[in-house]
Amino acid sequence: MGHSCWKCHLEIQELLLPVSRTEECPACGADLHVCRMCRFYEQGVGNACREPIADYVSDKTRANFCGYLEIRVTSIGPEQNLNSAEVPSDLNSLFGLEAGLKTESDSTKALQDLFGLDSKPN
């Protein structure tokens, strides 16, 4: 877990917190005191910010003076995305199911049996 640049996704090893308004990414030079780096940033909400009393910021990718900025901690970068082909085997091992279950329907059936669920929708 660490902090990654919002633009180039470089994991920044030594980021001093709180982030200075003039802090830049060492790789691409992007501003780091920006909404896109904040844990409150979310595109689907008003002002793209979950902090209810933060002032409106028009450009979410440029340095600003927001006092509520809390740098988001990242754990999976774009180069570490989960491989969807590995998900069934990961679930099988998590629940102690047979290693031979390869498809989603096999895994689903085994989990339903494990938890005593009826496979038919209600």
pLDDT digits 0-9 by tens, 18-42: 999 999 999 999 999 999 999 999 9
d(CA 35, CA 14): 20
Cα–Cα nearest to 110, from 85, 95, 87, 86: 95
Provide the residue ranges of all domains of the chain, joining segments of one domain with +: 1-81, 83-113
Q: Residue 114: is its pLDDT beyond 50? A: yes
Q: Quick one: average pLDDT of 95-111?
A: 69
Q: Residue 61: is its pLDDT beyond 80? A: yes
Q: Report the predicted TM-score, pTM, of the whole model to 2 decimal places.
A: 0.59
Mean pLDDT of the chain: 81
What are the CA-CA distances from residue 36 to residues 20, 79, 86, 109 (Å)?
15, 19, 30, 41
